[in-house]
Amino acid sequence: MVDIGPYSNYRLTVRLELANKPGIFARVAALLAEEQANLGAVDIVSATKTRMVRDVTFDVQNEGHGEKVLARLGALPDVTVLSASDRIFLLHLGGKIRVEGKVPISTRNVLSMVYTPGVGRVSQAIARDKSKVYAFTSKSNSVAVVTDGSAVLGLGNLGPEAALPVMEGKVMLFKELAGIDAWPICLNTQDPDEIVRIARGIAPGFGAINLEDISAPRCFEIERRLRQSLDIPVMHDDQHGTAVVLLAALTNALTVTRKRLENVRIVVNGLGAAGTACCRMLLAAGVSHLFGCDKEGIILYGEAEQLRACRTDLTACLTRDKPKGTLRDALKGADVFIGLSVGNILTAEDLDLMATDRIVFAMANPDPEVSPELAASHCRIFATGRSDYPNQINNALSFPGIFRGALDVQASEINEAMKLAAAKAIALAIPEGALSEDYIIPSLFDKEVVPRVARAVAAAARVSGVARRRATADDQPLLE
């Protein structure tokens, strides 16, 4: 098992063979200090009268810096680099997930029940009544995490093989946070027609489909076509999961600043998959003053009712060829800035164009649209997509509970009402008396979040008529 320890994205453990005489390790420590490589644990592996083997752990700035440090260590007199390991790669060795059966096949009798001939009776029962597949198979608790690798994290089009470790991580979150069995499905095609065909083909084995890391604008068409043709929930998490958590965070931020959603002026910068979905969610929640910007400038604007009317296909309201102004123009008098674009595009002067008690959600990764150090003195509430600052807007707060609630009631889709209910449930996870500028969104490790979201989503599914499973006596009380 890999020793996790304190987090560092570039932590190396190097096994060194050193001459066993005074001053040798001091040279190693001095070199690391010179390179500003943060020295951590130092362990003796073995020692003789003439040689000593040590494991030395240290943090570097990036991969290139690590290679430079290793080369310099190898050039030191009386020092030999025996091996070097990166604990992130060690953690991924052999993959991060596996399949385990619920029943141990320990006897011939058990084998005959879980497989042939006993399983044939179950297959025949499902053939007579397909709805029984939810009762007698894993379909009721299974989600396919489908990607083509075209938009992996913020790294771009890396392909399906490179997407697999990310999908494995997503699968782990489903299991750990919501008890859902999810499966990484990485497709060797980026043709929307092929992706739709394959997803339709595998749908009988799953209770829901989570589209992941598929680039815009193809992701919109793929999700739309699958939602129209399948009777199980389909959700592109990069869009809707982010939008749900953003609305929850904004709801609480406005409570702290004593502003109302329908009165504030909001600027969204970056109208890709996540940005467009966030605009749609904000309009559904009742936002009246919304400006959407991209590299062309202000390309989403108009009367609130006009924008709300086309929120199911917001791309129809985008005027890329007729921008109304620049991002700076949009920021004048704005109460809220939401960034889903690129890092370091805002200055202190830009923020000062906004209204007092301004709220800034700079969610570009790894570098936010404005540095946290700069934003701290120029806005009332600041949030990012990063885990190393307060107020992380992380879609992992939403998708486990949303899918848990949808699966629990065998919903045929995940609709707008269910997403709004999820956002409200996340916001209400923090009591109003506990809200503050640095605490507007609950922690990913808050064990109450997923059950709250699941109950709220299940209730909304029933009210909106997309639930196929009725409430039972075992169901948890719904959110007020």
Q: Are strands 265-269 and 208-211 parallel, antiparallel or unpaired?
A: unpaired
Nearest to 424 by CA among 452, 446, 383: 452
What distances in angstroms separate CA 399 from CA 46, 173, 244, 317, one per listed residue?
48, 9, 9, 27
Single-letter code of the amino acid located at 338: I
Residues contacting 17, CB < 8 A, separation 6+: 51, 52, 53, 79, 80, 82
- State how far the Cα of 404 lies from the Cα of 174, in Å rounded to an integer: 9
Query: Given the DSSP bridges, would you call strands 359-362 and 381-384 parallel, antiparallel or unpaired?
Result: parallel
Q: What SS3 class is residue 141?
A: helix
Residue that the structure tokens 């946290």 belong to: 372
- Alpha helices by DSSP H, listed for 209-303, are 218-229, 237-257, 273-285
Q: Which two tokens stand for residue 361?
A: 């959600």
Contact of 371 with 347, CB cutoff 8 Å: no
CA-nearest of 228, 149, 136, 143 to 178 is 143
User: What do you get for the CA distance between the two ends of the chain, in Å?
Assistant: 44
Catalytic residues: 115, 170
Tokens 């164009």, residue located: 353
| CA 233 – CA 221 distance, rounded (Å) | 16
Cα(342)–Cα(397) distance, integer angstroms: 23
Provide the H-helix boundaries in 258-319: 273-285, 304-309
For residue 95, what are its two tokens?
A: 């993959």
The token pair at 449 is 């979040």
Q: Among 259, 281, 278, 258, which Cα is nearest to 269's?
A: 278
Name residues whose C-beta falls within 8 Å of residue 413's C-beta, 6 or more positions apart in sequence: 227, 233, 234, 466
Looking at residue 250, the DSSP 8-state letter turns out to be: H
What's the residue count for the chain?
Answer: 480
Residue 318 has a CB neighbour count (10 Å cut-off) of: 18
Placement of tokens 């009317």 in the chain? 309
Q: Which of 276, 241, 251, 246 is nearest to 395 (CA)?
A: 241
Q: How far apart are CA 344 and CA 362, in angstroms?
A: 9
